[in-house]
Amino acid sequence: MAVLAVATDAEELTLTVTAQFDAPVPRVWQVWADPRRLERWWGPPSRPATFDRYDFRPGGEARYRVTAPDGSCARGWWQICAIDEPHRLEFEDGVADENGVRATGFGVTHAKMTLEERGGGVRMVLLRTFASVDQLDQQVSMGVAEAARRAVSRIDALLA
């Protein structure tokens, strides 16, 4: 079934992706905890992600790059804030420069992913909170909501 809804809320400064999967919670958790599985769905289908660093623990950092068809790369980072395995992951997400170092001038978002058993499967909610309406509007105008829908939709294939 995968994505049930993608919603933005300018008042709360959020983008929420809600999905339902026909798999047990620990199995869905692994698409976040295992960087090789995460690479198979994080980012748009035409721009695969590669996690060069993945220290999956509170306080740990991740560094990733998303490669375009022409070979150019966009880089990002995560700072993992909290993990309640296998039900909750929270991290800060931002843009990195060509060396993988946190870039200035770009807003940071806070992401909270939760997994809950529901209806014989798992409900996943990915809540991204932005620093301002301008940041939210900029991200939405860049297609982040649709990209999130397409990325999360790819999780079904990993769980099959």
pLDDT in tens, 41-73: 997 778 879 999 999 999 999 999 999 899 999
The reported pTM is: 0.92
When pLDDT is cut at 50, 70 and 90, the band that residue 18 belongs to is very high
Cα–Cα distance, 146 to 150 (Å, whole number): 6
The backbone torsions φ and ψ at residue 84, rounded to the nearest 5 degrees and listed phi first, read -125, 80
The span from the CA of 115 to the CA of 72, in Å, is 34
Q: Which domains are assigned to the chain? A: 2-159 (3.30.530.20)
Q: Which two tokens stand for residue 81?
A: 């804030």
Q: State the pLDDT confidence band at 160, using cuts at 50, 70 and 90.
A: confident
Q: What is the mean pLDDT of the chain?
A: 92
Reported as a single tens digit per residue, the pLDDT across 134-145 is 999 988 988 888
pLDDT(1) > 70 = no
Long-range contacts of 133-139 (CB under 8 A, 24+ apart): 133/10, 133/13, 135/13, 135/107, 135/109, 136/8, 136/10, 136/13, 136/14, 136/15, 137/10, 139/15, 139/109
Dig out the tokens for 15 from the structure: 């983008």
